[in-house]
Amino acid sequence: MSDNSPADTASVIIEKPAAEVFEFMSRCENLNLWSFGTWEITLQGDGLVQGKTLQDGSTVWVKIDAHKDQRLIDYHIGTEKDNLTPRIFCRIMPGESFLAPASHCMLMMTALRTTDMSNERWRNLSALHIVETGIIKSLIESGHDHRHSTN
């Protein structure tokens, strides 16, 4: 990733079928399992989520637009619920498309850089997406949900 790049993609192979990963990624209530940008979420209905960022506690709004046939998910993001833009995209590729077993898939998370984003913020966002895709892999493969942990 370059400081001048307008987009960045983090990817990971997950040992679960593409349909299962798509379902997990398209569910609003799962955002606070893996997304550092949407902690302490409140579900607003119709795919709209209000959350707080872990970095500074500011409010962020997310609307999930899932396209099941393409296994593509658009995450529309903004600081105001009536002014959201599609900035994060996930594509889930079945294992067969990259010569892996059908029980595997590849998750690709692409982020678009806004023109007002500083180089430092862009580097941090790109690094976070690498961490988030690793967390997603672990959550889906293990079935662990820290929100319901008793330990």
pLDDT > 70 fraction of the chain, expressed in percent and rounded: 97
CA–CA dist 66, 80 (Å, integer): 21
- What's the CATH number for 7-142? 3.30.530.20
Q: What are phi and psi of 5, to 5 degrees?
A: -70, 135
Residue 88 parent element (H or E): strand 85-94
Q: Mean pLDDT throughout 127-135?
A: 94
> What is the number of alpha carbons within 13 Å of residue 128 lying toward its C-beta?
16
CA–CA dist 13, 61 (Å, integer): 28
For the cut 70, the answer to whether the pLDDT of residue 55 exceeds it is yes
Confidence of residue 151 (pLDDT cuts 50, 70, 90): low
Domain map (residue ranges) of the chain:
7-142
Give the pLDDT of residue 1.
Answer: 54
For the cut 90, the answer to whether the pLDDT of residue 23 exceeds it is yes
Q: Mean pLDDT throughout 51-72?
A: 93
